[in-house]
Amino acid sequence: MTTGKSSGKFHIVKRDALPWYRAWGIRGLALVLSLVVCAIVTMALTGDNPGEVFKTMLYGNFGTQRKFWIMLQELAILLCISLALTPAFKMRFWNIGGEGQVLIGCLAAAACMLKIGDRVPNAVLIVIMVVASLAAGAVWAMIPAICKAKWNTNETLFTLMMNYVATQIVAYFTILWEVPKGSGKIGIINAKTHAGWFPAIGSYKYMLNVLIVAAVTVCMYIYLRYSKQGYEIAVVGESEKTARYVGIKVNRVIVRTLCISGAICGLCGLLLVAGTDHTLTTTIAGGEGFTGVMVAWMAKFNPIGMIFTSFLIVFMGRGASEIATAFSLNQSFSEILTGIIIFFLIGSEFFVTYRLSRKKA
């Protein structure tokens, strides 16, 4: 069944479900158009050949082995956060607090590295860090979940405000643990001993991060598609009244789902501290908690589709930064290009969901 809104000679009609290849074809066309616009903007401002611009974009992601692995690492982190937010979004619980939940997970991991890094074997330390990060993220997400379940609070505002609280808590401990005193930053934690650092697999520093996120992706796909809890999440998302009618305990589902969502965000914090940066800052998550919202939405909350949307966002972001560097432009220019690309990708979702139809006489 389609619904429409009249406007002159045309009206907007909601599509029936498109086949996946047509939906991704529309997104692919939007991507091509965004690249054309980026080329035109770059050529107009710099006078450079658009072909060189695209070549530079590819080089920024695949030009060297180091660039390739950094791209994979950023892809893994963004995908992990997107996966974490997905169960809550499918339940229509708008968890905008991914950034704060990641920060709390980072804080838990960093605290373990600093306080017991020299007291226990490295394998035991990493296990403790895993438990602490997952528990911290889960607790941080459960606070708004419990308030929503018991008092029907607005989860969007609640989780958004929790981001600011988490940022200030991390800022407090950053000053408390700063090295050297007065620097305002912690620096690399356990730089000499590497206590709490994820081991490299072969010569690949980020391989373990990538493998962990790949496993989480498969597990999340199976969980949402084939498990009883995944079914309950879908039913609650469609209608809480229907869920209660068929005997689903909605409040329990809300709290349990946010616990899982927060735990995976905490895992992402662990990956950042133990596997990538080996330090703690208020900006360590890099805004990916908000970007993950867009990635999950563009993939229609499909974990497999998120692999492609995450890759697209990371590829464009790194490519835009490389363009700005190669052509001696400031960082703002790369953000302009990234904004153009995201604008087209978000706009393409309109044409995936709706179509323009000529108004009949």
What digits encode the pLDDT tens for the residues 42-75?
788 777 777 777 788 889 899 899 999 999 999 9
Task: Kindly state the percentage of the chain with pLDDT values over 70.
Answer: 96
Looking at 92-96, 131-135, 149-153, 199-203, which range is the least confident one? 199-203
Mean pLDDT of the chain: 89
Residue 2: its pLDDT value, please?
47
Residue 69: its pLDDT value, please?
92
Residue type, 58: L
Residue 359: its pLDDT value, please?
67
Helices (H), 47-154: 50-62, 65-90, 98-116, 122-151
Residue 312: its pLDDT value, please?
85
Residue 270 has pLDDT above 90, yes or no: yes
Residue 298: its pLDDT value, please?
84
Residue 1: its pLDDT value, please?
45
> How would DSSP label each residue in 192-218?
TT-TTPPPPBTTBTTHHHHHHHHHHHH
Q: Output 12 or 280, whichever has higher pLDDT.
A: 280
Residue 35 has pLDDT above 70, yes or no: yes
Highest mean pLDDT among 181-190, 221-230, 291-300: 221-230
Q: Output 121 or 351, whichever has higher pLDDT.
A: 121
Tokens of 11: 């009206």
Residue 229: its pLDDT value, please?
95
What angle (nearest 5°) sits at the alpha carbon of residue 272, between those of residues 262 and 289? 45
Measured between alpha carbons, how far is residue 345 from residues 58, 146, 295, 349, 354 in Å?
19, 35, 10, 7, 15
Residue 316 has pLDDT above 90, yes or no: no
Asked whether the beta carbons of 166 and 103 are under 8 A apart, the reply is: yes
Residue 293: its pLDDT value, please?
92
Looking at 79-83, 283-287, 326-330, 350-354, which range is the least confident one? 326-330
Residue 356 backbone phi and psi in degrees, to 5: -90, 130
Q: Which of 136, 135, 138, 20 is nearest to 88 (CA)?
A: 138
Residue 3 has pLDDT above 80, yes or no: no
Residue type, 79: L
Residue 347: its pLDDT value, please?
86
Residue 297: its pLDDT value, please?
87
Residue 175 has pLDDT above 50, yes or no: yes
Residue 140: its pLDDT value, please?
97
